[in-house]
């Protein structure tokens, strides 16, 4: 039986953006609930977050998520821990359907982050189904101990994943589709210093296949075709906004924001490449304060969801 829940502000997503917004809304006396399957978001993948003030020596993504969970629990944020199936707007209210619940809200904050881009090559889906290929390393860590791993990508994510996995893996090969490396210089230096990590460039993946217990990546260049054998493949070639569960009307509003809307997008789900924890937190705080300001100016607002002024 579907459980029906009503809240003034619904926040969909469990990363730093929604967590920050929810804490600020609750502090302001506004009724708010987080809807998410798990807390953390993609920060779980991070090897070391070094640009977040307050952590002078950096903090791992896993440790940061633990602190987030502690703070949300301490703040008493109501949560619906479930997978979101669809979100729509009906009669000026937002309707969030999960596997077990129907949540209604007057305001909606979407902070669902990004999802990994696929290679779209032959054998990719089959390798994923067989747990031989992953897009998020927090899902792959259990299988990575003592293994040989291929990481496909040339940016910060690919290099950070490789450094993270180098703590437990036997060998890592970074496969770049071009010669150019797009990662931060500090990550490039650390990868160069890590003996377990090797980089190959100008290799275009075109097929993945399984032989016995090994997964094989077939690549090609203008001059040759070659194969790289490993135990696991991690794909880190980019990310795109995670909005597939939105109705067509809300997707249109994502592309064409309305000035007087009660729908907000924060963090990595917003268009652009500024995927940083501090940026996401700033987005969350800014939107929370906008909502508080909007409610404070409503002449007919009776203060029910907000007890403290």
Identify whether residues 98 and 243 lie together within a single domain: yes
Query: What average pLDDT does the segment 272-284 reach?
Result: 86
Q: What is the pTM of this model?
A: 0.86
Q: Which long-range contacts (C-beta less than 8 Å, at least 24 apart) are formed by 184-189?
A: 184/156, 184/159, 187/156, 187/159, 187/160, 187/163, 188/159
pLDDT tens readout for residues 81-95: 999 999 999 998 999
pLDDT tens readout for residues 8-30: 999 999 999 999 999 999 999 99
Supply the CATH number for residue 212's domain: 3.50.50.60
**In angstroms, how far is the first alpha carbon of the chain from the final one?**
38
Handedness of CA 259, 263, 267, 269 (dihedral sign): negative
Identify whether residues 139 and 230 lie together within a single domain: yes
pLDDT tens readout for residues 43-64: 888 888 888 999 999 999 899 9
Do residues 173 and 258 make contact, with C-beta atoms less than 8 angstroms apart?
no
Identify whether residues 126 and 213 lie together within a single domain: yes
Identify whether residues 103 and 247 lie together within a single domain: yes
Identify whether residues 144 and 210 lie together within a single domain: yes
Confidence of residue 271 (pLDDT cuts 50, 70, 90): low
pLDDT at 139: 83
Q: What domain range is 191 assigned to?
A: 118-235
Angle among Cα 10, 64, 151 to the nearest 5 degrees reads 100
pLDDT at 7: 95
Identify whether residues 10 and 109 lie together within a single domain: yes
Residue 298 has pLDDT above 80, yes or no: no
Q: Which of these three, 196, 217, 235, is where a domain ends?
A: 235
Query: What average pLDDT does the segment 72-80 reach?
Result: 95
Domains held by the chain: number: 2
pLDDT tens readout for residues 185-237: 999 999 999 999 999 999 999 999 999 899 999 999 888 899 999 999 999 99
Q: Please, what is the average pLDDT of the chain?
A: 91
Count, residues in the chain: 309
Tokens of 10: 């619904």
SS3 string, 57-124, reads: CCECHHHHHHHHHHHHHHHCCCEEECCEEEEEEECCEEEEEECCEEEEEEEEEECCCEEECCCCCECH
Tokens of 174: 């970074």
Q: Which of these three, 182, 209, 235, is where a domain ends?
A: 235
pLDDT at 224: 87
């Amino acid at each position: 039986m579907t459980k029906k829940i009503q809240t003034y502000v619904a926040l969909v997503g469990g990363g730093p953006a929604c967590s920050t917004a929810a804490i600020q809304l609750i502090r302001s006396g506004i009724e708010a609930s987080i809807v998410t399957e798990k807390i953390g978001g993609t920060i779980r993948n991070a090897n070391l977050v070094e640009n977040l003030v307050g952590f002078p020596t950096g903090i791992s993504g896993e440790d940061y998520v633990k602190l987030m969970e502690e703070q949300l629990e301490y703040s008493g944020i109501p949560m619906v821990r479930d997978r979101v199936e669809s979100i729509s707007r009906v009669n000026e209210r937002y309707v969030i359907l999960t596997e077990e619940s129907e949540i209604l809200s007057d305001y909606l904050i979407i902070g669902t982050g990004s999802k990994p881009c696929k290679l779209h090559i032959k054998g990719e889906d089959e390798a994923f189904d067989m747990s031989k290929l992953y897009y998020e390393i927090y899902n792959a860590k259990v299988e990575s101990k003592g293994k040989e791993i291929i990481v496909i990508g040339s940016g910060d994510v690919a290099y950070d994943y490789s450094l993270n996995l180098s703590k437990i893996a036997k060998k890592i090969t970074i496969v770049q589709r071009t010669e150019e490396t797009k990662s931060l210089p500090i990550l490039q230096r650390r990868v160069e210093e890590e003996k377990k990590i090797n980089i190959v460039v100008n290799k275009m993946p075109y097929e993945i296949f399984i032989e016995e217990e090994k997964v094989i990546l077939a690549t090609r260049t203008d001059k040759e075709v070659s194969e790289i054998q490993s135990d696991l493949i991690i794909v880190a070639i980019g990310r795109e906004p995670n909005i597939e569960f939105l109705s067509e009307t809300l997707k249109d509003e994502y592309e064409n924001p309305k000035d007087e809307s009660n729908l907000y997008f924060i963090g990595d789900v917003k268009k652009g490449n500024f995927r940083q924890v501090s940026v996401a937190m700033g987005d969350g705080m800014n939107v929370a304060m906008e909502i508080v300001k909007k409610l404070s100016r409503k002449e007919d607002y009776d203060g029910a969801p907000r007890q403290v002024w």
